[in-house]
Amino acid sequence: LAARSSRLIAMLLAMVILQLGSVVAPDPAWASGLAVALDKSVAAPGDTIQFTALQFRPPCEPAAAALTFDATCPPVPETVETVDCQVAWDEVPLDAPTLCTLKESVTESATESVIEWLLSGSFSVPNDATTRKTYVVTVCQPACSDVFRGALLSGQARLRIEESPVLVPDVVGLLADPDALQRLTVLGLTMVLSPPGADPSSARVVEQKPTAGTPVVPPSSVTLTVTPLIRVPNIVDELLPEARRKVEDAGLILDATGDPTGRIGTQDPAPGTLVDPETTVTVTLTVAASPPPVPPVSPSPVPPASPSPVPSASPPATNAAPTADPSGPAAQAPNATPVALTSFASPLALWLIVILAAGAAGLSLRWKRRERKSRHAMRQRVRAVAHDPLPSQVRVEEIDHGRTHSVRLEPHADRGHQQTQEVPA
């Protein structure tokens, strides 16, 4: 009865292990004597992993001989003990020695064919473990029966290494690009805009999913619900009706103070500022301008009509000019000078125009070339993101083209075949 109940306990323990461990190594574990289970199937470098290993002693013939333990080997413990074991990481033993705690032991009489007991311990994931890779963790423990004396019982489990989770930052209220985008990309997260197609450089984040503080594993995407922003038009120096039309056409509200017949003197927010829809643009109007004053008449350069035969030491009378008729030659003087200059400066102006046009054309070409280069650089921005939990599933995003492809790889291992032939001496 005792033997049966201990066997039942062992079976129950095995079932518990299978439930605890997310990953139980397939055939090798059972076949070689240890069934290894890890407390998590996905971990980050530096994490501590708890493992349990249920050990089986395969039956031997004759059973009694197989279960007679050598005097040099420790007896099968009946209580909690610590025994040697070792954990290897993709076949490389971990540096720190590992002690397995023998938590439970279930032994059977020497005539029974199976012995089972439970080991447990822990190890640390090496800090240099490669992320997005699945490692094989091997737990070994020396066997000590006369048949398997000196042999190592081992079991394996698989552990996938992913990046450490990061906390999603709070980006609500920020401009999607560059403010929110920078905060996300620095953590290895990607941004998805809602509605899709919104211009991130003129949109403000009003909601985010996952919310701030949620732990996620990069590369994950954060969906940002955005509202488009409006660029404030430049209305300085405009008359009020024209300014009002421009502001309201843009979806903003105009609040004007001052002389309604005047022109816009100042505006707040400044031209070019990005604001939410229906934001009020406050302007002050200057006093309406009066008709331009008559320019003062300058002394006539024209010499007196009747030249004095004798040069006069005294200057000519200047009081005659101010009293002259405004429609006379003095009033036309302002026009006379530009006319005179045009004929003189036209070649110079022509040259200036030519130089400016050439400069503008050069700048335009340079700008276009830079833009082309920038577009080319943008085409290079391709992101390949592995899907969880299928490492063979890859999503390829061409960011600036908005194209996403799902690429799935199916590696097929081949067990192959072996042939043996003797080689003549």
Applying the rule CB under 8 A, the residues between 123 and 162 that interact with other proteins are 130, 133, 136, 140, 142, 147-148, 150-152, 154, 156
Question: Could you say whether residue 387 binds other proteins (CB under 8 A)?
Answer: no
Q: What residues between 37 and 76 interact with other proteins by CB under 8 A?
A: 54, 56, 58-62, 65
Q: Least Å distance between CB 55 and other proteins?
A: 11
| Sequence-distant contacts of 128-133: CB under 8 A, at least 24 apart | 128/45, 129/45, 129/89, 129/161, 130/161, 131/44, 131/45, 131/161, 131/162, 131/163, 132/161, 132/162, 132/163, 132/386, 132/391, 133/160, 133/161
Nearer to other proteins, 257 or 376 (CB): 376
x/- letters, 364..383, toward other proteins (CB under 8 A): ---------------xx-xx
Within a 13 Å sphere around the CA of 143, how many CA atoms are in the beta-carbon half?
22
The continuous run of DSSP H or E covering 159 comes out as strand 152-161
Part in contact with other proteins (CB under 8 A); list of ranges 231-239, 240-248, 320-328, 404-412: 404-412
Nearest approach, Cβ of residue 161 and other proteins (Å): 12
Q: Which of residues 9-38 bind other proteins (CB under 8 A)?
A: 10-11, 14, 24-33, 35
Q: Which two tokens stand for residue 1?
A: 């009865």
Shortest Cβ distance from residue 229 to other proteins (Å)?
31
User: Toward other proteins, which CB reaches closer, 150 or 293?
Assistant: 150
Give yes or no for a contact between 326 and 300, defined as CB atoms under 8 angstroms apart.
no
Going by DSSP bridges, is the β-strand pair 221-228/190-194 parallel, antiparallel, or unpaired?
Answer: parallel
Q: CA 6 from chain center: how many Å?
A: 55
User: Is residue 234 a contact partner of residue 204, using CB atoms and an 8 Å limit?
Assistant: no
| Residue with smaller CB distance to other proteins, 12 or 212 | 12
Choice between 60 and 239, CB closer to other proteins? 60
Phi–psi pair at 284, nearest 5 degrees: -120, 135
- Both structure tokens of 392: 């063979």
Does position 296 interact with other proteins (CB under 8 A)? The reply is no
- Judged by beta carbon, residue 93 or residue 260, the one nearer other proteins is 93
Query: Within 13 Å, how many C-alpha atoms sit on residue 260's CB side?
Result: 4
Stretch of 204-212, 321-329, 335-343, 391-399 lying at the interface with other proteins (CB under 8 A): 391-399
From residue 99 to residue 128, the character string flagging contacts with other proteins as x (rule: CB under 8 A) and all else as - is --------------xx-x------------
State which residue, 47 or 397, has the beta carbon closest to other proteins: 397
Tokens 């590696």 sit at which residue? 411
Q: How far apart are CA 237 and CA 262, in angstroms?
A: 9
Does 406 bind other proteins (CB under 8 A)? Our answer is yes
- Does the footprint of other proteins cover residue 96 (CB under 8 A)? no
